[in-house]
C-alpha cells in the first residue's frame, strides 16, 4: 500500500460505501492524503467484527464520512468517533432517470404480439433457486384466470431449456418469444428467449413480479418495473435494494409478499384493478426527486478539499 500511494501521489482518496481497507487508510495517513467515505454503509454485523480492535480504526479514521442513513452514521461514529460523520442522500438514486414519457421515445417491439386489452402478467428476472415457486404461481394464476397471458423472463438464458421442459411437464401451452410474430392467444405463456425487451413488457403489463426475491438471493431490480408505470410485486428477500428505503413499501410503490401464493394473489388483484401507468410513473418521479442530490453534494465536498490543498 505504501508503494502504491507513493507512486500515485493522491491528493484525496474517496472510498465508496463499505470499502474500508485498513492497510490503504494507514498508508494514506502516513503520506498525508485526505481521505473520505461517501455513500457510506456499514451493517451491525460488520461493526461487531471491526470493534474487535477498536483502537486501530480511531488511528486511521477518514477525515470525513458521509453515510446514507442515520443508523449507518451512528455505526460509523462508534467505529471512528463522532467527528465529521454526516448523512447524505444515497447517490444510487441519482443513477435512476425516471421520466413521465417512460419508453415512448423508443420503438415498442411488442405491439405485434401483445394485443390491446390483453391481461398480461410479467414474471421478470426469475432465478433458478425460485423456479419451483414460480411454477406454482403460474399454475395458480392459470386456474383462477385462465385467459391471462404470462410473460416469463428467466434471469439467465441458459434456464430456457429447463422452462421448456417444465411447461411441457405441466401441460401448459407456451411459445418462445423468438417464434412469436402475431398476437398471442389468451392463456399462453410467452417464454422469453431473447434479451432487451423486459421494460417494454412491463409497459404492456397489468401486473408484474420481479424475481430473485422468493429465495435468499437479494432481489433483482424492481425499480425497472416502477419506471415503466407498474407497481412491482416481490418476495421477502430484497436486501440488494434496502438502500431504497422501507418508505417505498409504506407508500405502496412496491408490494412485498411472504411467499409464492401471496405473490400470485397480489398479481391477480392487480390485474383486476390495475393502477394507471401514468399515475404510478408520476408518483415514482416525485419519490425519486426527493431523494436525489447526493452526487452533487459529494462532488462539491471533493472540490472544496482539492481547492484547499
16 vs 214: CA distance, rounded Å: 29
Residue 166's pLDDT is 96
Lowest mean pLDDT among 42-46, 123-127, 160-164: 42-46
Task: Give me the mean pLDDT over the 66-84 stretch.
Answer: 92
More confident residue, 102 or 189: 189
Q: Are 120 and 110 in contact (CB under 8 A)?
A: no
Q: Supply the pLDDT for residue 97.
A: 64
The whole-number pLDDT of residue 104 equals 55
Q: Give mean pLDDT, residues 215-244.
A: 92
pLDDT for 275:
85
What are the pLDDT digits (tens) for 270-287?
Answer: 998 888 888 998 888 888
Q: What does the block give as the cell for 30?
A: 502516513
- pLDDT: is 36 or 104 the higher one? 36
Please give the pLDDT value at position 219. 95
Q: Is the pLDDT of residue 69 over 60?
A: yes
pLDDT at residue 100 in the model: 45
**pLDDT tens for each residue of 9-34:** 999 999 999 899 999 999 999 999 99
More confident of the two residues 95 and 190 = 190
- Work out the pLDDT band at 288, boundaries 50, 70, 90: confident
* Of 143-157, 177-191, 238-252, the least confident: 238-252
What is the pLDDT, as a whole number, of residue 98? 57
Q: Across all residues in the chain, what is the average pLDDT? A: 92
* Angle CA 280–120–209, to nearest 5: 65
For residue 102, what pLDDT is reported?
47
pLDDT above 70 as % of the chain: 96
**CA-wise closest residue to 297 among 39, 123, 50:** 39
User: Given pLDDT bands bounded at 50, 70 and 90, which one contains residue 152?
Assistant: very high
Distances (CA, A) of 208 to 3, 26, 47, 56, 275: 52, 48, 37, 48, 12
pLDDT of residue 106: 67
For the segment 90-131, what is each residue's pLDDT rounded down to a tens digit? 998 887 765 545 455 567 889 899 988 889 999 999 999 999
The average pLDDT across 128-146 equals 97
Domains belonging to the chain, first-starting first, are: 2-89+293-307 (no CATH), 120-289 (3.40.50.2000)
CA angle 242-245-247, nearest 5°? Answer: 140
Whether residue 292 has pLDDT greater than 70 = yes
Q: In this predicted model, what pLDDT tens digit does every residue of 194-226 receive, in sequence order?
A: 999 999 999 999 999 999 999 999 999 998 899
Amino acid at each position: 500500500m505504501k508503494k502504491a500511494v507513493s507512486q500515485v501521489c493522491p491528493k484525496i482518496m474517496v472510498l465508496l460505501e463499505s470499502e474500508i481497507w485498513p492497510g490503504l487508510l494507514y498508508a494514506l495517513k502516513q503520506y498525508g492524503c485526505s481521505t473520505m467515505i461517501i455513500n457510506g454503509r456499514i451493517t451491525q454485523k460488520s461493526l461487531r467484527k471491526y470493534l474487535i480492535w477498536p483502537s486501530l480504526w480511531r488511528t486511521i479514521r477518514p477525515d470525513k464520512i458521509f453515510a446514507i442513513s442515520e443508523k449507518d452514521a451512528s455505526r460509523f461514529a462508534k467505529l471512528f468517533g463522532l467527528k465529521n460523520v454526516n448523512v447524505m442522500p444515497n447517490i444510487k438514486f441519482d443513477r435512476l432517470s425516471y421520466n413521465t414519457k417512460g419508453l415512448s421515445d423508443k420503438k415498442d417491439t411488442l405491439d405485434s404480439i401483445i394485443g390491446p386489452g390483453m391481461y398480461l402478467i410479467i414474471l421478470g428476472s426469475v432465478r433458478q433457486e425460485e423456479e419451483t415457486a414460480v411454477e406454482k404461481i403460474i399454475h395458480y394464476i392459470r386456474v383462477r384466470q385462465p385467459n391471462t397471458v404470462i410473460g416469463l423472463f428467466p434471469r439467465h438464458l441458459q434456464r430456457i431449456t429447463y422452462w421448456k421442459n417444465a411447461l411441457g411437464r405441466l401441460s401448459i401451452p407456451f411459445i418462445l418469444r423468438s417464434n412469436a410474430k402475431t398476437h398471442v392467444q389468451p392463456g399462453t405463456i410467452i417464454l422469453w428467449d431473447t434479451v432487451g425487451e423486459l421494460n417494454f413488457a412491463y409497459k404492456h403489463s397489468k401486473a408484474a413480479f420481479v424475481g430473485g426475491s422468493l429465495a435468499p438471493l437479494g432481489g433483482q431490480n424492481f425499480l425497472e418495473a416502477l419506471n415503466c408505470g407498474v407497481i412491482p410485486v416481490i418476495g421477502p428477500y430484497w436486501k440488494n435494494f434496502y438502500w431504497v428505503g422501507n418508505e417505498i413499501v409504506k407508500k405502496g410503490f412496491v408490494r412485498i409478499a411472504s411467499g409464492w401464493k401471496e405473490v400470485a394473489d397480489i398479481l391477480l388483484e392487480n390485474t383486476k384493478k390495475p393502477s394507471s401507468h401514468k399515475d404510478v410513473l408520476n408518483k415514482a418521479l416525485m419519490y425519486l426527486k426527493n431523494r436525489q442530490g447526493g452526487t452533487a453534494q459529494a462532488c462539491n465536498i471533493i472540490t472544496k478539499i482539492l481547492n484547499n490543498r
